[in-house]
Amino acid sequence: MTASVALSVSLSALPAEASTVSAEIPYQTFRDFAENKGVFTPGATGIEIKDKNGNAVGTLDVPMIDFSSVSRRGSLTLLSQGYGVSAKHGGLGDVNNASFGYDKNNYTVVKNNKHSGLDFSLHRFSKLITEAAPADINISGQLSDSSQYTAFYRAGAGTQYIKERSGKQTHIPGTFLTGGTVGTPWYSGNNLISSSPGDTYNKSQGPLASYGQMGDSGSPLFAYDSLSEKWSLAGVTLHNNGVNGQKTTGCYYLKIILKILLQPISIPLFHLIKTVKNICHGHMMQPKAWAVFSRMTNSL
C-alpha cells in the first residue's frame, strides 16, 4: 500500500476465484497450509518448508494456527460461534451465508451489521457454528513489536498467481483457499496497518510469503503472541497495491470493541462507541474513551 490512499485497490472488485506466492515452492504447499492438511496440523512446530527441488527454504517455528475459523471463501472469520467479521466493500457487508469446516457446512446470516464510516462488517448467523473454532481477539501491546508478535499468517481465496524471482507472474485458474506468511506490519495511517508480503522473496516476509489479490478482501491476518503463546485475529484485508505490488493493507480491530459486541446480551452493534473514529486507532493502542449507551433499541 502506498502512502496515497487513491492508489489502493479494492480486493473485492472481482469475484473470489487466493494470492501471489512463490513459484519455487509447490503450490499445493500453500493450499495445505490454509486447510491445515499434511504437516500443517494445528499446534505442529518446526515445520520445514521445501522448494520444488526438495531444498529447505525455511522453518515455521511457532505452533501452527487452526484456520477453521476462516470461511471456505476466505472472506469471513468467526469471532464466536454465532458471529463473523469481514470488510464491508464489494458486497461483503451483505452476505447471506458462509461455509465452515472441511465438510463445507453452510450457515445462514440473519443480520448484517455494517459500520457507516469504516470498511467493517459484523455478521450474525442463524445458529451456533460448532464445526469451527472461533478466532481469539485478545490482542495486547503493539503488533509492530517483533519481540512479542513473532509470526503473522493469512488465508484467503482471491485471484491466484505464482511469482518468479524476475517478477513475472503466472495466473493459476481455479478457486482455492490458500495461505502463507506475512512480515511484521506497521501503522500506515487512516486507521490502517500495512505489510509487504508481495515482496515474495524477501526473507522478512517468511518462507511462504502470501500477497492478497482480487477476491481477498475480508480475509484475516492472524498474529502469534509469543508471550501468551496463542494466535489472535489482528485485522482483515482491505486493499493491495495492484497485481504487481508488494504492500497489503488492512484495518486493525481493537479487542475491546469486539469483546463488548460479542457479550451474550442483546445490544446494538455500533451504539456502543463514543468515538467511532477510534475503532481502528492510529497507534494500535486502546482509544481514550468508550461508552455503552444505557438505552438500546436495536439488537445484533
Catalytic residue, from 69, 86, 89, 239: name it.
89
- The domain of 33 spans 5-38+136-252
Q: Which residue has the higher pLDDT, 59 or 259?
A: 59
Catalytic residue, from 22, 80, 119, 216: name it.
119
| Within-domain flag for 226 | yes
Number of domains in the chain: 1
Arithmetic mean of pLDDT, 167-183: 88
Q: Where residue 21 falls among pLDDT bands split at 50, 70, 90?
A: confident
pLDDT of residue 40: 98
Q: Which residue has the higher pLDDT, 196 or 11?
A: 196
CB-side exposure of 80: number of CA atoms within 13 Å? 17
Arithmetic mean of pLDDT, 52-57: 97
| Within-domain flag for 237 | yes
Please say if 61 is a catalytic residue.
no
Number of Cβ atoms within 10 Å of the Cβ of 38: 13
DSSP at 134:
P
| Within-domain flag for 125 | no
| Within-domain flag for 88 | no
Arithmetic mean of pLDDT, 102-131: 83
Catalytic residue, from 8, 217, 219, 232: name it.
217
What is the CATH classification number for the domain harbouring 181? Answer: 2.40.10.120
Please say if 217 is a catalytic residue.
yes
Please say if 89 is a catalytic residue.
yes
Q: Phi/psi zone of residue 108: left (φ > 0), alpha (ψ -120 to 50 degrees), beta?
A: beta
Three-class SS state of 257: helix
Is pLDDT of 101 > 80? no
pLDDT of residue 189: 63
What does pLDDT average to over the chain? 74
Is pLDDT of 219 > 60? yes
Is pLDDT of 99 > 70? yes
Q: Phi/psi zone of residue 91: left (φ > 0), alpha (ψ -120 to 50 degrees), beta?
A: left
Name 294's Cβ contacts closer than 8 Å, sequence gap at least 6: none
| Within-domain flag for 174 | yes
| Within-domain flag for 217 | yes
The predicted-structure confidence for 131-164, as pLDDT tens digits, reads as follows 899 998 877 778 889 999 999 999 988 788 888 9
C-alpha grid cell, residue 98 = 458462509
| Within-domain flag for 19 | yes
Distance, first Cα to last Cα, the chain: 33
Q: Which residue has the higher pLDDT, 178 or 193?
A: 178
Q: Which of 130, 15, 32 is nearest to 80 (CA)?
A: 130
